[in-house]
């Protein structure tokens, strides 16, 4: 089977309990099972994680950098969403 016939998978690894799975890279495989095994072999050879997710790359919907302006810009003019926008009087010890 040529590599073109294989599917592309994205690999996510949970480094330890309590942390989110993090994207670590991708690989080619003929199916999910094989993708999981390959992911174990290539991305966790040094106990980098305790759990792996594989997702077909084509199943991921991604926003495009070109669209960033209309996608993310509206939050630029909302500084009041941050706590630092409201100065605390120095008399207040904790808040």
Q: Is 93 in the site for other proteins (CB under 8 A)?
A: yes
The answer to whether the CB of 55 falls within 8 A of the CB of 12 is yes
Q: What is the DSSP string of 9-48?
A: EEEEEE-STTSPPEEEEEEEESSHHHHHHHHHHHH-TT--
Residue among 6, 14, 40, 53 that touches other proteins (CB under 8 A): 14
In the stretch 69-88, what mask flags binding to other proteins with x, by CB under 8 A?
A: ---------x-xxxx-xx-x
Residues forming contacts to other proteins in the complex (CB under 8 A) are 14, 16-18, 20, 51, 78, 80-83, 85-86, 88-89, 91-95
């Amino acid at each position: 089977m040529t590599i073109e016939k294989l599917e592309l998978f994205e690999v996510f690894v949970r480094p330890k309990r309590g942390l989110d799975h993090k994207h670590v890279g991708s690989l080619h495989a003929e199916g999910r099972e094989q993708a999981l095994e390959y992911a174990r072999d290539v991305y966790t050879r040094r106990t980098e994680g305790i759990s792996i997710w594989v997702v077909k790359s084509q199943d991921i919907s991604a926003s495009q950098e070109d669209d960033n302006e209309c996608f993310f810009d509206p939050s630029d003019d909302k500084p009041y969403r941050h706590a630092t926008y409201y100065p605390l009087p120095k008399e207040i010890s904790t808040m």
